[in-house]
A = this chain, B = another copy of it.
Amino acid sequence: MEKFLQLWENTGLYQIELGQAVMIAIGMLLLYLAIKKNFEPLLLVPIGFGAVLANIPAAGIAEPGGLLHMMYTIGIESGAFPLLIFMGVGAMTDFGPLLANPKTLFLGAAAQFGIFATLGGAILLSYLGIFDFSLGDAAAIGIIGSADGPTAIYVASKLAPELLGAIAVAAYAYMALVPLIQPPIMRALTTEAERKIRMHQQRHVSQREKILFPLLLLVLVAFLLPDAAPLLGMFCFGNLMKECAVVDRLSNTTQNSLINTVTIFLGLAVGSRLHAESFLNSTTLGILSLGIVAFAVGTAAGIIMAKILNKISKEPINPLIGSAGVSAVPMAARVSNKLGLEADKHNFLLMHAMGPNVAGVIGSAVAAGILINFVS
């Protein structure tokens, strides 16, 4: 009887707290968004499931000794998982469109204004006493505007580990929402005539350029911003493996089983940080609101920069490709293409938008390096 009581007292029903129930519901909501609404399912399925597992009362899966805690310690706290994902993303990235038109790097730079404006906003809200963000918190919230999951997770794990769960969820959710967030801003900031601008055919980029570019980028990072070297270093390594064509078997594994395995573990580990205590408070609301501001400001900054470039440059530049500078690869580039087709059904912008799109990844990693350097 005593043992029977013990069993009952050990059930989840007896032990559950309201916060855990709410977090399980939030995990389920993430699964619903991922599976039914196709919100970045590769990440949100593991994150959502991880959130459910982590909040099962008395199971301790996310506490020391539990599997998810182990994954978090080994992979996120150490920075290893985001770096390995970056290596895989590098091995899947084609810098061809960027090399064909290096000016698009300015679009990738401009779109990072979302990060810094949001950082400023978070500081201001803190100064006004509405929230209580430290400089590290503000920087980690701003990085949501990088529209790049592994970068956001890497920076948050270094500068504000207790906010990691909310920041990662915000980053992936808004990346999935890019087709809803960006178009109104893009339409508001461009004229019909601008959206109809046709861009010149891209030149052919030689294999030698593609092999040397990651090395050039690596050297610049090494000399100018060592704090971005882990992120961009692994990114360049993945890309070099792909482009050099003599280590295809390594590159294939990097693009497939390696990145898939790490994605599963990373997602579960991030999900394990969705605790009631750290998620169910006004801070999370602040993060979610500031995050969408970051996306919107980044989008606007990219478009405005594209309009400026269009004025300066001899070659025509369609301002719609500016919004692709926020990264969110390849969704943002597809949104640019979509709006181009809406204005003129023969105006294919996809290849042109891939330049600022991958430039955005570089820009975000540079911004991440500066934040880490400055704050820590």
Contact = CB atoms under 8 A, between A and B. Distances in A.
B222 A52 contact: yes
Main SS at interface, chain A: helix
A258 B61 CA distance: 21
Contacts of A66: 230
A123 B310 CA distance: 70
Given A257-B257, A373-B7, A45 B222 contact: no
A243 to B, nearest CB: 9
Contacts of A373: 6-7, 10
A218 interface: yes
A41 interface: yes
Give the number of copies in the complex: 3
Nearest to A234: B67
A175 to B, nearest CB: 15
Interface stretch (A196-204, A244-252, A294-302, A344-352): A244-252
| Most chain B CB within a 10 A radius of its CB, from A34, A230, A247, A374 | A247
A308 B351 CA distance: 66
Contacts of A144: none
A362 to B, nearest CB: 17
A210 to B, nearest CB: 12
Interface in A1-41: 3, 6-7, 10-13, 15-16, 24, 28, 31, 34-35, 38, 41
A120 to B, nearest CB: 15
A237 interface: yes
A224 interface: yes
Contact of A215 (B31, B42, B249): B31
Contact of A67 (B3, B52, B80, B260): B80
Contacts of A34: 244, 246
A261 B256 contact: no
Interface of A: 3, 6-7, 10-13, 15-16, 24, 28, 31, 34-35, 38, 41-42, 45-46, 49, 52-53, 56-59, 61, 65-67, 70, 78-80, 83, 211, 215, 218-219, 221-227, 229-230, 233-234, 237, 240-241, 244, 246-247, 249-250, 252-254, 256-258, 260-261, 263-264, 268, 370, 373-374
Q: Which 3 A-B pairs have the closest CB atoms?
A: A253-B260, A59-B226, A59-B229
